[in-house]
Amino acid sequence: MGKHENLFAYFSQRFRVYLEKIMFNKGKSKVTTSLTYLAPNSEFQGNLHVDGDLRVDGIIHGTVDVTGDMEISATGLVEGAEVRARNLVVHGIIKARVVAQGRLTLSRAARLEGDVVANSLDIEAGASYVGYIETGDAKVLPGTQNRPELMASRE
């Protein structure tokens, strides 16, 4: 598939999901999710706040705050202090602290440098990650309350 067919398929899927949300929310509050798109040859510098979803095929230098879901394609790069989103899928590069209220997904092509706070995490084989990860609620694993602490080996 060519680049245009991939974009068409992506936007068709997003539109289908949007229509399903509207159709199944009859009588409830209306869902108004919008999609903001940064094209492959585009570059943004500064603080970016998006009300809705964001797809990045270009480059962002700065802090990113997304109320919906965010996807960084294989051609995408985000470099800044912090990236916040509900769910985040990474195929490209992030050099920032990441906060995902839901799920952070790193594909096999993803490169991430920065600390992560996420409710859940999916990392495909081949993804690259450098930083500290905190997922979900900090809970003690069952059966580990009375075990001794591990000590680092001394050489």
What are the C-alpha distances in Å from 47 to residues 10, 20, 33, 39? 26, 32, 21, 18
- Whether the pLDDT of residue 145 is over 60: the answer is no
- Tell me what the mean pLDDT of segment 73-98 comes to: 97
Percent of the chain at pLDDT exceeding 70: 67
- Whether the pLDDT of residue 141 is over 60: the answer is no
Tally the C-alpha atoms within 13 A of residue 76's C-alpha that lie toward its C-beta. Answer: 23
| pTM score of the predicted model | 0.70
The distance from CA 6 to its chain's CA centroid, rounded to whole angstroms, is 20
- Residue 49's pLDDT band (cuts 50, 70, 90): very high
The Cα 152–Cα 100 span in angstroms is 32
pLDDT of residue 140: 54
- Whether the pLDDT of residue 143 is over 60: the answer is no
pLDDT of residue 2: 57
**pLDDT 10s digits, 65-78:** 999 999 999 999 99
What residue has token string 């509900």? 86
- Whether the pLDDT of residue 85 is over 90: the answer is yes
The Cα 36–Cα 65 span in angstroms is 12
What residue has token string 């059966």? 143
Q: Where are the domains of the chain?
A: 1-30, 33-135
- Tell me what the mean pLDDT of segment 10-28 comes to: 57
